[in-house]
Amino acid sequence: MLVSAKEMLEKAVEGHYAVGQFNINNLEWTKAVLNAAEEMKSPVILGVSEGAGKYMTGFKTVAAMVEAMMGELGTTVPVALHLDHGTYEGSYKCIEAGFSSIMFDGSKYPIEENVAKTKELIEVCNKKGISLEAEVGSIGGEEDGVIGQGECADPNECKQIADLGVTMLAAGIGNIHGKYPANWAGLSFETLDAIQKLTGKLPLVLHGGTGIPDDMIKKAIDLGVAKINVNTECQLSFADATRKYIEAGKDQEGKGYDPRKLLKPGYEAIIETVKEKMELFGSVGKA
Ligand code: G3H
Ligand code: ZN
């Protein structure tokens, strides 16, 4: 059964580790993340962007697939199905579809509007036991059509949103979606520290988890980050492994073009990437 992300993230704050959010795109992706989490005995959050939801034909299909798969795999670890960077309309669609966690990304709105919309969604989510993530500041780069300027969050605005009763808060701290440029200035720990001082034990979320050096990840966890989002890194692992399989001509021999064979190296590569991240985030054995 899907669970809200609340309890797993509160435990992560107490235990000084982070739970990974891994974005899913299809059946193979979902199965890879669920199997990795079960093997590592780690709680996990399956992230679904609006674009990925559309690709999988809709949020109801996604929720039904995940629930059925968990049942047939016999998943025992806590799993939250989470809308990633949701719009106001998309948030309502996912609540209706049976998601157990929502991110309403109101960072593109003026703070008053972000506060008003987040507040309204918290009330709806609370009634249904669904966790809610909000965003302040913005994450640089682009993810599935969501483009951010990358401005660091104002800690006082973070407190304003935190005080509404959100389950978790994503704040822009110099993090970027996708690959980091060579001249990247790094995470702003000064901003993160100021946010944590004002928001106490509220689980903080680090987006753009791909390519952040390990020491920065660990420092961010020390400063209250309890959820780390990873998307691009699984895509790179999948693409790399698939490319190698095809370049080696394996798709030609022994019916290697059978999609179940063709997609297997990529599927296995995602499992390895997810397991590595779980080790790094410290969530192994925490289920
Ligand atoms: O919302 C999802 C993430 O922030 C993932 O970022 O693609 O850079 O790993 P990433
Ligand atoms: Zn993100």
Q: What is the pLDDT of residues 240-252, one digit of tens each?
A: 999 999 999 999 9
The encoded tokens of residue 104 equal 């309403």
Total Cβ atoms within 10 A of residue 127: 9
| Across 166-181, average pLDDT | 95
Q: Look up the domain containing 25 and give its range.
A: 6-281
Judge whether 237 lies within some domain.
Answer: yes
287 C-alpha to ligand 2 centroid (Å)? 24
**How many Å apart are CA 261 and CA 250, to the nearest integer?**
9
Note whether residue 225 is domain-resident: yes
Q: Which residues are within 5 Å of ligand 2 (an ion), measured at CB? A: 207
User: Average pLDDT of 124-149?
Assistant: 89
**174 found inside a domain:** yes
pLDDT tens across 95-131, in order? 999 999 999 999 999 999 999 999 999 999 999 999 9
Residue 1 lies in a domain: no
Domain membership of residue 287 (yes or no) is no
pTM of the model: 0.97
- Number of C-beta neighbours around residue 182 at 10 A: 5
* pLDDT band (50, 70, 90) for residue 159: very high
Please count the structural domains in the chain.
Answer: 1
The DSSP element (H or E) to which 20 belongs, if any, is strand 19-23
The stretch 181-195 carries a mean pLDDT of: 95
pLDDT score of 199:
97
Report yes or no on 286 lying in a domain. no
Q: What is the pLDDT of residues 16-28, one digit of tens each?
A: 999 999 999 999 9
Q: Measuring CA to CA, which residue among 10, 87, 15, 3 is closest to residue 45?
A: 3
64: CATH: 3.20.20.70
Asked if residue 29 belongs to a domain, the reply is yes
Which residue's CA is the closest to the ligand 1 atom numbered 10?
208
In a domain, 18, yes or no: yes
Say if the ipTM goes beyond 0.85.
yes
CA atoms within 13 Å, Cβ hemisphere of 21:
30
The single-letter DSSP state of residue 154 is: P
3-state secondary structure of 259: helix
